[in-house]
Structure 1
Amino acid sequence: MTHFLVTEENPNGQRLEDVLMKVRADVVLRCTKITDDVRPEAQHVLNNNMLILNALTDAIKLAQDSTQVLDKAFGPSQTAKGGPPRIGV
């Protein structure tokens, strides 16, 4: 069973891209709190967070692409309404 994503067992879950966007927003918020901290450790963490933000953005684009492929091929997901998954077993 997934903790965050929509599945038959978790119909109230979220789409992957939505979860990733929330995580990205949290990282952005953390970045804004340390941007003025000039200590090397804070700048190191900020630099790492910027790389993480880029990776999250790439992951969001991939997740959105997968959703578009599934929507085009099989129509909108009905899993949240108790319907079967569009792919997989």
Structure 2
Amino acid sequence: MTRFLKSDSNPAGHKLEDILMELRSDVLIRCTKIAGDHRPEALKVLSNNMKVLEHLTAAIELAQDSTSILDRAFGPSEARDGGEPRIGVA
């Protein structure tokens, strides 16, 4: 069972890329709040956050690519309406 992602048991869930984009937005907001702090600790945290943003962006691109592959191969998902999963088992 998933708590956040769409599934047969959670049809109102979200697409992975949507959750990752929200998370990236939150990290960006945090970055802007510490961007003017030049203490070593703040600079290191900002540097770490920038790396996290790079990884989140890569993960978003991968998730979007997977969605695109599934859409091309099997059409739009019907899981929200109680349809079968496009790949795998329910």
TM-score, normalised with respect to structure 2 = 0.97
Matched ranges for 1:37-56 at <5 A? 37-56=37-56
Instruction: Provide, for residues 13-72 of structure 1, a one-character-per-residue CA deviation record: whole Å limited to 9, x for no partner.
Output: 000000000000000000000000111101100000000000000000000000000000
Q: Which runs of 5+ in 2 are unaligned?
A: none
**Pairwise CA distance, 1:3:** 1.2
Q: Which runs of 5+ in 1 are unaligned?
A: none
Give the counterpart letter for 2:3 in structure 1.
H
- Mapped to 2, the partners of 1:24 and 1:43 lie a distance apart of 19
Give the counterpart letter for 1:76 in structure 2.
P
- Mapped to 2, the partners of 1:28 and 1:11 lie a distance apart of 29
Give the counterpart letter for 1:53 in structure 2.
L
SS of aligned partner of 2:59: helix
Aligned residues: 89
TM-score, normalised with respect to structure 1 = 0.98
Say what the alpha-carbon RMSD is for the aligned residues: 0.5
Give yes or no for the alignment of 1:64 onto 2:64: yes
**Pairwise CA distance, 1:84:** 1.1
- Shift >4 Å, 4+ stretches: none
Show the counterpart of 1:27: 27
**Pairwise CA distance, 1:82:** 1.1
Q: Percent identity?
A: 62
Give the counterpart letter for 2:59 in structure 1.
A
